[in-house]
Amino acid sequence: MSHTSLSPLPSSDRPDAAARLREALLGASFTVDGMLDLLGAPAYAALARSETVPALRATRGDTPLETLVRLFLLQQPVPHARVADVLPVADCLDSGWLTAVGGDEVAATVDVRPYGGTDGEDWFIVSDLGCAVGGAGGIGSRDEGVVLGVGGASTTLAGITVRTPVASALDLGTGSGIQALHAAQHATRVTATDLNPRALQMTALTLALSGAPQADLREGSLFEPVGEETYDLIVSNPPFVISPGGRLTYRDGGMGGDDLCRTLVQQAGDRLNDGGYAQFLANWQHVEGEDWQDRLRSWVPRGCDAWIVQREVQDVTQYAELWLRDAGDHRNDPAEYQARYDAWLDEFEARKVRAVGFGWITLRKAAAAQPSVTVEEWPHSVEQPLGDTVRTHFDRVDYLRAHDDAALLAGHFKLVAEVVQEQVGLPGAEDPEHVVLRQHRGMRRATKVDTVGAGFAGVCDGTLSAGRILDAIAQLVGEDPVLLRDRTPAQIRLLVEQGFIEPTG
């Protein structure tokens, strides 16, 4: 199935039907754990690569779970009688979750995919047939209004989002509703918007089938549907792909270059309550003669601290190929594929774009006179979820902003858990050239320190003030304590900033 026709959706006004369907799905162990047990890790992983043969082979029996996997994940018609043993068929047909096909068979009208919540909840993501990641149809050319399921970008954003309890949250460009579903667990009121009315219906279905409270659903572009309203949390996995012509709404938002991401970030500042967070995934252009970090700094709205992390960079040819393949263009007419590829490169050449960066942008509304804007490249592996890591980054920003060097030396610190020390130098050398501290959690950073910095971090347990520790180190190494106190605060500041040590009071 290389093309998805948009079928009528189940009724989003039938919470009773969704509740009964949910009960039946859970009763048959149609969950992430249940699927993993049934399919085995290789077949389960193959689904994520859009390969369905291993899963089809693993579901040739007639257990309730095999029936549901074939029906909702592999989108195979199943005999009515078999489905009737597992689901309230009449109810599902009446409310539109199933449709009758070929005489005595039924088929799913939507893709329903088990998804594990933050605390192990059993949720379900509803999307268009063949459009979940690893859906039965794989990735192919799609209709304009199609609603995709959960992909790597969705789960990345869900993982980096700060999960403190809030009064209000906004999921901008909700798609199948995954971010709204997460937000519903810790926000009193959730608003979800999308330019595509079908996406809003899909979000309502995802929330209902997952047993979550319904969101306030609004149709429209960017912040238009919410007017002047403000929120404690804004999240968006926008259609950030930089492409010529904006062919696919779910993917490229119709603005030129990286204008959509820039507009979203710049406008978010006015929609945040004090202390509120806005978190986005984004693409940005690397333009000839311009520092990409400066480009991103210029996006940050006034009155906001920001932490921007570039996770990946692709040259323009890699980038064009990635998204042409995503749309299935490589499977069609070779001449058309070549023409489209050419158009992408023409567009990039006209804009003097040499590469495209991908990463995370977090804003926090702050009343500080001097906003903190950190833009960095971090292509290395991290440990998700990172929501707490993001929150503590801004806590540390506040601490460092409020403490000058004298206050820093009077402070008490402790070494963060799971930091190890590595000594780097030539084999056989008496002293290491330098010492590296490495985190095994969160961002998994590594930073070079001198022997004083390593010694300082090693004895930080909150008991002694930083100044007292330095005095003791000065005595040990035979250095003037005043000079040591003068030159070390910058290193302490770096260790706090990067999360190797934390203040204890």
pTM assigned to the model: 0.93
464 by Cβ neighbours in 10 Å (0-12 / 13-18 / 19+) ranks as middle
CA atoms of 485 and 55, how far apart (whole Å): 64
Q: Give the lowest-confidence range in 43-57, 59-73, 325-339, 446-460.
A: 325-339
First-last CA distance in the chain: 60
- pLDDT at 393 (0 to 100): 97
- Is there a contact between 343 and 284 (Cβ–Cβ < 8 Å)? no
CA atoms of 126 and 124, how far apart (whole Å): 6
At 417-456, the pLDDT tens digits run 999 999 888 888 877 778 999 999 999 999 999 989 999 9
At 377-407, the pLDDT tens digits run 999 999 999 999 999 999 999 999 999 999 9
- pLDDT at 246 (0 to 100): 54
- Is there a contact between 193 and 219 (Cβ–Cβ < 8 Å)? yes
CA atoms of 171 and 226, how far apart (whole Å): 11
Tokens of 419: 């930091």
- pLDDT at 45 (0 to 100): 87
Q: How many CA atoms lie within 13 A of 293 on its CB side?
A: 8
Average confidence score pLDDT of the chain = 92
- pLDDT at 505 (0 to 100): 74
Tell me what the mean pLDDT of segment 78-85 comes to.
96
Tell me what the mean pLDDT of segment 268-280 comes to.
98
Tokens of 465: 């003030």
Q: How many CA atoms lie within 13 A of 428 on its CB side?
A: 0
Query: Cis (ω within 30 of 0) for the bond into 385?
Result: yes
- Residue 298 neighbours by CB distance under 10 Å: 11
**Bridge pairing between strands 231-236 and 304-315:** unpaired
